[in-house]
């Protein structure tokens, strides 16, 4: 066989590439790794991704199917993203087709051309043209078509008309325009910026940086030309975003681009407005809420270099940038950076790898850094930079633990907390209550026989939602009308147990009938614009009692809030996941950080049944750094991450036995290979049944990362060789963030 073999990644669960012959009559020199190719796959035609040009194939070369079409003339992804994806594919042991698909917008995966739409060519009348028209120049009088067109342009509202729109005006508009152009009566104008990217000139003057900000900016700017990881730690309001803006300005001034990654929930209009106001040049935004077309457009404008700044959520870590100069990861501890299904990458970790390969700095910012990141800073791998104070010198809110043991709780609220709320509300201040459970109550229960509102598909209770008059499963999405009588015994004595934000709202309406209440959770903000309405009401003081889930924790600032109540901190203290307490501490501080301002520092009251819990006490008395240090010590003593490295093999099946049997077999394969590794399980997942499928897992743990990866290299090959059991789905999660 003469021509090269195309090694193609195709979106499929198979851990392999596929070989094809080039399409007939292709210029071989045009085939470069990184271009898209349309190929026949089974009976379908799919868009694949050319990984490499080979010279041999294990298949019969004569039987090699030819690709159908080459879709790009140049690689669709820049070399550094291609290299990052290859690295990620090896590290996460995920099928190549899926990995490459994750980096491309949907429309490109479907084969759309990778070209920005051409801005329409505009025509407008010149001063000479105006003169000729008003004076009815002789040359014009002899050419009625030109006269007509000039008239039309003179009256055109915005002064410039798209060429297409002139076609109906006269018979041969193109020729007429040429004639007018030759006489200098009309001219062409091209819109230079794409309207959706257009940025108003920066109008807001930048504040003078304080000492800590100056030091942080200087430390990073001094190293813009090389790789380094900077951990920027500072409470909410300490000026981290201001530091990002200065760094981005410095990078833009060098003619380079900046990439800022933000959590799903942190990408607020406020943040974007601030970036747009302050930064010169077009900005592209990449997140899951965009239409496919908008996303493609933003992506292409990053790739073409038109967009100078790219702000996006997780998958923006793969954004194509011709001239990258810095990567910023805001709220680096946030869980949304980890993809929780399919290709389970961690965008923060990949941002570091990408920056390393590019030789540029990466800045990780947080008020509550992940223990992994703090550990890396302690070991000197990251450079720690601190912003110790709120800008303007305001104190950070003080934290009090409130012992609720033996207290008569009114809908989950203790009398001392209610008393404090009353006092703050009486001073016309605002109060915020945090309860991370939406709905009315987490379970409906029969007082007669003990029946519980169990989900049919999951090992979970269905949550009662009174507004929607339904029971909802928060795990599989199933819902049904609320039972009026017990399905088991027919009793009408059904009771709602436990707390949800809806119930809290109802209770507080009775307790504080004259105070406007704002509930912020996924239910109350589902309708477009409802969140904005609530925020406006809060800011103008019409609603002063705020209740919400973790939606409250990011992005918004409530300067009039002087009291924050954490309704229930206990679920985080003894959660099944070893990261529960870290998460709880981060959430509490994130919520606390929303409140107060310089002249009105807030108070945070945490209701707990475990007021002596050592980590909780540290958090309350000495703050996050002390908490984190103690939590890291605990992790070290227990040899848990970041002092060990984990991978989780998950399996699920409609039949509980099969998933376990698969994992037993996987463990048997692993045992002879697993030097330096600990194998834990298999065990059923904490919620064994979800959406009708039984889930179990096998946890692998190693003290040395390299041992784990050497092992995975061999083991995953063996696993994939096992005869395919179509009744089982399995997946590997490297560096899992959640153990279920
Ligand atoms: P963070 O990102 O840490 O929450 P921000 O950068 O958003 O903090 O700063 C908090 C507020 O203080 C913002 O309104 C910001 O404009 C303002 N700010 C930040 N730095 C300064 C400064 N050096 N001088 C005055 N105001 C500042
Ligand atoms: Zn009953
Ligand atoms: Zn369910």
- Please list all protein residues whose beta carbon sits less than 5 angstroms from ligand 2, which is an ion: 446, 448-449, 451, 486, 488-489, 491
Please tell me whether residues 476 and 327 are part of one structural domain.
Answer: no
Nearest CA to ligand 1 atom 19: 239
Most confident of 436-445, 680-689, 699-708, 719-728: 699-708
Least-confidence region, from 137-146, 192-201, 658-667: 192-201
Any domain includes 63: yes
Any domain includes 203: no
Report, as an integer, the average pLDDT of 129-154: 82
- Ligand 3 centre and the CA of 695: distance in Å? 13
pLDDT at 119: 64
| Closest ligand 1 atom number to CA of residue 557 | 4
* 690: CATH: 3.30.70.600
Structural domain of 100: 5-110
Any domain includes 248: yes
Report, as an integer, the average pLDDT of 607-634: 93
Residue-wise pLDDT for 255-264, tens only, equals: 999 999 999 8
Which of 87, 110, 133 is the last residue before a domain boundary? 110
Nearest CA to ligand 1 atom 23: 209
Residue-wise pLDDT for 30-47, tens only, equals: 889 999 999 999 899 999
DSSP 31-93: --TT-EEEEEETTEEEEEEEEEEES--SS-GGGPPBPSEE--SS-SS-HHHHHHHHHHHHHHT
- Averaged pLDDT of the chain: 89
pLDDT at 505: 93
- Ligand 1 centre and the CA of 392: distance in Å? 9
Say yes or no to pLDDT of 316 above 90.
Answer: yes
pLDDT at 280: 85
Contact 435, 568 (CB under 8 A): yes
Which of 429, 458, 482 is the last residue before a domain boundary? 482
pLDDT at 157: 58
Give the H or E element holding residue 401. Answer: strand 398-403
Say yes or no to pLDDT of 621 above 90.
Answer: yes
Say yes or no to pLDDT of 2 above 70.
Answer: no
Residue-wise pLDDT for 150-189, tens only, equals: 888 887 755 677 777 787 788 888 888 888 888 888 888 7
* 19: CATH: 3.40.1440.60
Least-confidence region, from 157-161, 339-343, 538-542, 547-551: 157-161
- Ligand 1 centre and the CA of 210: distance in Å? 10
Assigned token pair, 665:
């077999």
Any domain includes 392: no
> Band of the pLDDT at 203, cuts 50, 70, 90?
low
Contact 691, 652 (CB under 8 A): no
- Ligand 3 centre and the CA of 479: distance in Å? 8
> Band of the pLDDT at 195, cuts 50, 70, 90?
very low
| Closest ligand 1 atom number to CA of residue 210 | 23
Nearest CA to ligand 1 atom 25: 207
Please tell me whether residues 41 and 25 are part of one structural domain.
Answer: yes
Least-confidence region, from 180-194, 285-299, 495-509, 650-664: 180-194
Please tell me whether residues 314 and 402 are part of one structural domain.
Answer: no
* 361: CATH: 3.40.50.300
pLDDT at 553: 73
Please tell me whether residues 522 and 606 are part of one structural domain.
Answer: yes
Residue bearing the bigger pLDDT, 198 or 110: 110
Residue bearing the bigger pLDDT, 517 or 160: 517
Please tell me whether residues 103 and 131 are part of one structural domain.
Answer: no
Residue-wise pLDDT for 220-235, tens only, equals: 999 999 999 999 999 8
Question: Could you tell me what percent of the chain has a pLDDT over 70?
Answer: 95
Any domain includes 199: no
Please tell me whether residues 380 and 403 are part of one structural domain.
Answer: no
| Closest ligand 1 atom number to CA of residue 242 | 6
Residue-wise pLDDT for 557-588, tens only, equals: 888 899 999 998 887 777 778 898 999 999 99
Please tell me whether residues 611 and 563 are part of one structural domain.
Answer: yes
Ligand 1 binding pocket (C-beta < 6 A) is 207-210, 213, 234, 236-242, 391
Domain count, the chain: 6
Which of 482, 513, 537 is the last residue before a domain boundary? 482
> Band of the pLDDT at 120, cuts 50, 70, 90?
low
Query: Exposed/middle/buried for 289, CB within 10 Å: 0-12, 13-18, 19+?
Result: exposed
DSSP 509-554: HHHSTTS-EEEESTTTT-STTHHHHHHHHHHTTS--EEEESGGGGS
Assigned token pair, 35:
């271009």
Any domain includes 86: yes
Q: Measuring CA to CA, which residue among 220, 551, 210, 558 is closest to residue 392?
A: 210
pLDDT at 557: 81
Say yes or no to pLDDT of 106 above 50.
Answer: yes
Report, as an integer, the average pLDDT of 694-708: 94
Residue bearing the bigger pLDDT, 415 or 154: 415
Residue bearing the bigger pLDDT, 211 or 177: 211
Say yes or no to pLDDT of 67 above 70.
Answer: yes
- Ligand 3 centre and the CA of 291: distance in Å? 29
Least-confidence region, from 39-53, 128-142, 274-288, 626-640: 128-142
Please tell me whether residues 101 and 147 are part of one structural domain.
Answer: no
Q: Which of 218, 391, 589, 596 to mutate to test the pocket of ligand 1 (most atoms within 8 A of CB)?
A: 391
> Band of the pLDDT at 121, cuts 50, 70, 90?
confident
| Closest ligand 1 atom number to CA of residue 236 | 4
- Nearest ligand atom owner, CA of 449: 2
Contact 351, 360 (CB under 8 A): no
R_g (Cα) of the chain, nearest Å: 30
As a whole number of angstroms, the distance between CA 387 and CA 406 comes to: 41
Please tell me whether residues 290 and 367 are part of one structural domain.
Answer: yes
Say yes or no to pLDDT of 673 above 80.
Answer: yes
- Ligand 3 centre and the CA of 106: distance in Å? 29
> Band of the pLDDT at 196, cuts 50, 70, 90?
very low
Any domain includes 692: yes
* Whether pTM exceeds 0.75: yes
Question: What is the per-residue burial (b if ≥16 Cβ within 10 Å, else e) of 215-235?
Answer: ebbeebeeebeeebbbbbbbb
pLDDT at 126: 86
Please tell me whether residues 185 and 240 are part of one structural domain.
Answer: no
Please tell me what DSSP assigns to residue 642: T
Nearest CA to ligand 1 atom 18: 239
pLDDT at 230: 98
Any domain includes 223: yes
Please tell me whether residues 513 and 628 are part of one structural domain.
Answer: yes
CB atoms within 10 A of CB 601: 15
Please tell me whether residues 574 and 673 are part of one structural domain.
Answer: no
Residue bearing the bigger pLDDT, 343 or 289: 343
């Amino acid at each position: 066989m003469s021509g090269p073999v195309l090694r193609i990644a195709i979106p499929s669960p198979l851990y392999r590439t596929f070989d094809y012959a080039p399409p007939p009559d292709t210029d071989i020199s045009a085939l470069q790794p990184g271009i898209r190719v349309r190929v026949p796959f089974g009976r379908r035609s799919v868009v694949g991704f050319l990984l490499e040009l080979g010279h041999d194939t294990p298949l019969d070369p004569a039987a090699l199917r030819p690709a159908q079409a080459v879709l790009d003339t140049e690689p669709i992804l820049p070399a550094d993203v291609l290299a990052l994806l290859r690295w990620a594919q090896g590290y996460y042991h995920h099928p190549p087709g899926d990995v490459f698909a994750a980096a491309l917008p949907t429309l490109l995966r479907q084969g759309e051309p990778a070209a920005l739409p051409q801005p329409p060519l505009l025509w407008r009348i010149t001063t000479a043209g105006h003169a000729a028209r008003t004076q009815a120049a002789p040359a014009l009088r002899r050419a009625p078509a030109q006269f007509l067109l000039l008239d039309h342009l003179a009256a055109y509202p915005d002064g410039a008309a798209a060429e297409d729109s002139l076609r109906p005006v006269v018979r041969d508009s193109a020729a007429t325009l040429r004639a007018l152009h030759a006489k200098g009566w009309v001219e062409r104008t091209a819109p230079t910026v794409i309207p959706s990217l257009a940025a108003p000139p920066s109008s807001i003057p930048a504040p003078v940086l304080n000492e800590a900000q100056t030091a942080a900016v200087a430390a990073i700017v001094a190293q813009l030309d090389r790789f380094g990881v900077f951990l920027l730690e500072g409470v909410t309001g300490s000026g981290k975003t201001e530091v990002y803006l200065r760094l981005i300005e410095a990078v833009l001034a060098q003619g380079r681009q900046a990439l800022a990654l933000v959590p799903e929930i942190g990408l607020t209009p406020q943040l974007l407005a601030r970036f747009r106001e302050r930064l010169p040049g077009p900005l592209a935004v990449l997140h899951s809420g965009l239409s496919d077309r908008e996303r493609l457009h933003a992506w292409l404008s990053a790739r073409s270099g038109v967009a100078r700044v790219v702000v996006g959520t997780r998958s923006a870590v793969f954004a194509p940038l011709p001239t990258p100069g810095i990567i910023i990861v805001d709220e680096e501890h946030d869980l949304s950076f980890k993809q929780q299904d399919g290709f389970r990458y961690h965008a923060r970790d990949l941002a570091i790898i990408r920056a390393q390969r590019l030789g540029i700095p990466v800045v990780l910012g947080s008020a509550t850094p992940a223990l992994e990141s703090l550990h890396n800073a302690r070991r000197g791998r990251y450079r720690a930079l601190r912003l110790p104070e709120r800008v303007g010198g305001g104190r950070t809110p003080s934290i009090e633990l409130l012992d609720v043991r033996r207290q008569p709780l009114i809908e989950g609220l203790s009398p001392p907390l209610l008393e404090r709320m009353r006092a703050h509300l009486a001073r016309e201040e605002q109060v915020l209550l945090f309860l991370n459970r939406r709905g009315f109550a987490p379970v409906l229960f029969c007082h007669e026989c003990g029946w519980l509102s169990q989900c049919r598909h999951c090992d979970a209770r269905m949550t009662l939602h009174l507004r929607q008059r339904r029971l909802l499963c928060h795990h599989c999405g199933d819902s049904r009308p609320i039972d009026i009588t017990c399905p088991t015994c027919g009793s009408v004595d059904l009771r709602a147990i436990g707390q949800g934000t809806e119930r809290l709202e109802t209770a507080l309406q009775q307790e504080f009938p004259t105070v406007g209440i704002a509930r912020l959770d996924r239910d109350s903000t589902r309708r477009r614009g409802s969140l904005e309405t609530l925020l406006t009401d809060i800011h103008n003081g019409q609603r002063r009692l705020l209740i919400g889930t973790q939606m409250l924790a990011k992005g918004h600032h409530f300067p009039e809030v002087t009291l924050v109540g954490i309704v229930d901190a206990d679920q985080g203290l003894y959660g099944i996941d070893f990261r529960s307490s870290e998460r709880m501490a981060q959430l509490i501080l994130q919520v606390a950080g929303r409140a107060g301002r310089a002249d009105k520092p807030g108070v945070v009251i945490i209701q707990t049944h475990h007021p002596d819990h050592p980590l909780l006490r540290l958090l309350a008395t000495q703050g996050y750094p002390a908490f984190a240090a103690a939590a890291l010590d605990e992790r070290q003593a227990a040899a848990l991450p970041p002092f060990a490295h984990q991978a989780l093999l998950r399996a699920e099946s409609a039949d509980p036995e099969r998933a376990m049997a698969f994992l037993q077999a996987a463990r048997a394969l692993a045992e002879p290979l697993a030097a330096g590794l600990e194998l834990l399980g298999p065990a059923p997942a904490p919620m064994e049944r979800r959406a009708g499928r039984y889930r179990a897992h096998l946890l692998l743990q190693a003290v040395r990362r390299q041992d784990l990866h050497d092992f995975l290299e061999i083991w995953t090959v063996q696993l994939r060789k096992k005869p395919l059991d179509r009744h089982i789905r399995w997946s590997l999660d490297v560096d899992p963030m959640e153990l279920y």
